[in-house]
Structure 1
Amino acid sequence: MSALRSYKDTRPVIGERVYIDQSSVLVGDIRIGDDSSIWPLVAARGDVNHIHIGNRTNVQDGSVLHVTHKNQQNPNGYPLIIGDDVTVGHKVMLHGCIIKDRVLVGMGAIVLDGAVIEEDVMIGAGSLVPPGKTLESGYLYVGSPVKQARPLNDKERAFLQKSADNYVQNKEDYLHHVDVISK
């Protein structure tokens, strides 16, 4: 069964050299940039608003991506916008938020409606970013709710790009060396 599904009059639009594991489900108004990867058991629903995933971004196993519908209090709703070179760790939940470039969202983190994560940010595993919160560029954030822990050092800033680059190589390996086995 295909991982891609239409919803009403929308369907996912996929860039060049993208890996999407067949166990994932992507529904509706979703755009995925070049060299990105969607790993096993990801659920992404662009049903009541749109999802944009940038170039060279990886969404790891078991993550959930969703949006918020348009309404009287919020006429645009909350789409989900993910920038370039972003690493979304295992079992992350992203709901109607904006994640800018070179961000690492640690395993099991939750980022809620209207939150904005600026460039070059690291969010610790299991952290909760509450609705409407903005995380300033250049820092590590941890906790539930998140608190600014400290500035990222040069090695950590470089790791943000390295993580994205590693997953570009991983997806190339999967595109060329993984076959579905029936028995």
Structure 2
Amino acid sequence: MNPLIFAIGGKTPKIHKSAFIAPGAVICGDVEVHENASIWYGCVLRGDSNKIVIGKGSNIQDGTIIHVDEPSMGGVPTIIGDNVLVGHKCMLHGATVEDGGFVGMCATMLDGSLVKTGAMLAAGAFLAPKKIVPAGEMWAGMPARKFRDLKEGEDKAALMGAAHYVEEAKAHRKALADQ
């Protein structure tokens, strides 16, 4: 099973040759996937209404869904910066995660929400529209609120995770090629 990548509305995904797109992923429309980024099994990146950008070295883990609304409906792009870790089964809709941001498993981010560089959105958290997780903080809960300040070094967790997933992607690419 190959990934399903297709144009819609006159917009074709742009995927860097070094990016890993796992079998079973669906990517359509106005989507950019940059160098060494990885889109894992069962992900859907639906750029049929607005732009989605996945930065260098970032990973979108298994089962995550990313979508956007049309600008005419007040929709904003989904922008994932460089070296971002987005955990398994997340939902990102018109959201932004800055370089080195961390989004835990099963978290939801809605329109205009933002995770800053060096910030963490905890697993299972629900970040309401236009809410901002500041650098150096972890937000958790439904709705997400400040849970605590990050401990020394925790603000670098996404960078370490992103580097790990670049290597994982290489191993999966090789294993799939060997089949």
Shorter chain as denominator, the TM-score bin is over 0.9
- CA-based RMSD of the aligned residues comes to 1.4
C-alpha displacement at 1:53, in angstroms?
A: 0.6
Q: Which of residues 113, 116, 119 in structure 2 aligns to 1:115?
A: 113
Counterpart code for 1:66: H
Structure 2 partner of 1:67: 68
Give the residue type in structure 2 aligned to 1:33.
H
Q: Which residue of structure 2 aligns with residue 130 of structure 1? A: 128
Alignment of 1:138-153 (within 5 A): 138-153=136-151
Instruction: State, as a whole percentage, how many aligned pairs show the same letter.
Output: 33
Unaligned runs of 5+ in 1: none
Letter aligned with residue 7 of structure 2: S
Aligned to 1:44: 45
Shift of 1:18: 0.7
Are the counterparts in 1 of residues 78 and 94 from structure 2 also a CA contact under 8 Å? Answer: yes
Q: How many Å separate the matches in 1 of 2:122 and 2:19?
A: 27
Q: Is the 8 A contact 2:36 2:58 kept in 1?
A: yes
Q: Structure 1: how far apart are the matches of 2:102 and 2:29?
A: 25
Name the SS for the 2:71 alignment partner: coil
Distance 1:155 1:118 in 2: 16
SS class of match (1:172)? helix
Tell me how far apart the structure 1 counterparts of residues 31 and 157 of structure 2 sit (CA, whole Å).
Answer: 27
Task: Determine whether 1:15 maps to 2:13.
Answer: no
Matched to 1:92, the amino acid is C
Please give the per-residue CA displacement for 1:53-88, whole angstroms capped at 9, x wherever unaligned. Answer: 10000000100000011226x3xx211001011111
TM-score in terms of structure 1 length: 0.92
Provide the TM-score with structure 2 as the length reference: 0.94
Q: Which one is further off, 24-33 or 150-159?
A: 150-159
CA deviation map 1:21-71 (0-9, x unaligned): 120100100001100000000011000101011000000010000001122
Gaps of 5+ in 2: none
| Structure 2 contact 43–61 (Cα < 8 Å) conserved | yes
Cα separation, 1, equivalents of 2:69 and 2:98: 19
May I ask how many residue pairs the two structures share in their alignment?
Answer: 178
Aligned partners of 1:106 and 1:30: how far apart in 2?
A: 22
